[in-house]
Amino acid sequence: MAAPLIRIEVITPERTVLWDRTESIIAPALDGYLGIQANHAPMVAGLRAGVLFYGPVGAEKRRMAISGGFLEVADNHVTILADTAELAHEIDVERAERALRRAEKRLRDFSSDVDRIRAEFALNRAMARLQAAGRKVY
């Protein structure tokens, strides 16, 4: 029997990226991946840059790259507010790869804390995009 469905809505300041129904969602929360299915208790969670999965329980899921934000669960409705969000097929892999190399270089070169933190964030965003696009990233 198919699992009950929940609403998933992904919005950024510039557009609504996704508006759909799905069985389950796995989101990159600040302290690790978070799984959500129907009838989840009301919740607000902070998200880091990473891959968001959604789809049927126990089967292949769709992937989306998000670059930080937060998520709200209320009445079987999951709202994800992200700075940017891209569906797997929308991702510009070459650009993400360039960003990844740039961030890696910065991490090696820069010493100031602020620069390091920024480079790390950029690195995480690039990795999230590449992973969502199906690339292997180590």
Partner 1 sequence: MAGQSMRDLKRRIRGVRSTQQITRAMEMVAAAKLRRAQQQLTTGLPFTEKLETILSRVVQHRDVLQRKDAVHPLLAVREPARVLYVVVAADRGLAGGYNTNVLRLALATIQEDEREKRVVAVGRRSRDFLLRRGIELYNEGLQSNYIYVGDELSYEESRFVTRYIADMYIRGEVDEVIIIHNVFLTAASYRPTVTRLLPIEPEHFIREERDAAGDRDEDEEEPLIYVPSAEQVLSVLIPRYFDIRVYSLLLGAKAAEQGARMLAMRNATENAEEMIEQLTLSFNRARQDSITTEISEIVGGANALAGGE
Query: Residue 132 Cβ, how far from partner 1 at the closest point, in Å?
Result: 19
Q: Which is nearer to partner 1, 68 or 130 (CB)?
A: 68
Q: Give the binding range for partner 1 (CB under 8 A) out of 67-75, 86-94, 105-113, 122-130.
A: 67-75
Q: How many CB atoms lie within 10 A of CB 2?
A: 7
Q: How many CB atoms lie within 10 A of CB 39?
A: 10
Query: Residue 49 Cβ, how far from partner 1 at the closest point, in Å?
Result: 12
CA–CA distance, 68 with 111 (Å, rounded to integer): 24
42 binds partner 1 (CB under 8 A): yes
Pairing assessment for the beta strands 77-82 and 85-87 based on DSSP bridges? unpaired
Q: Using CB under 8 A, list all residues that contact partner 1.
A: 11-16, 29-31, 34, 41-47, 68-70, 72, 79, 81, 83-84, 114
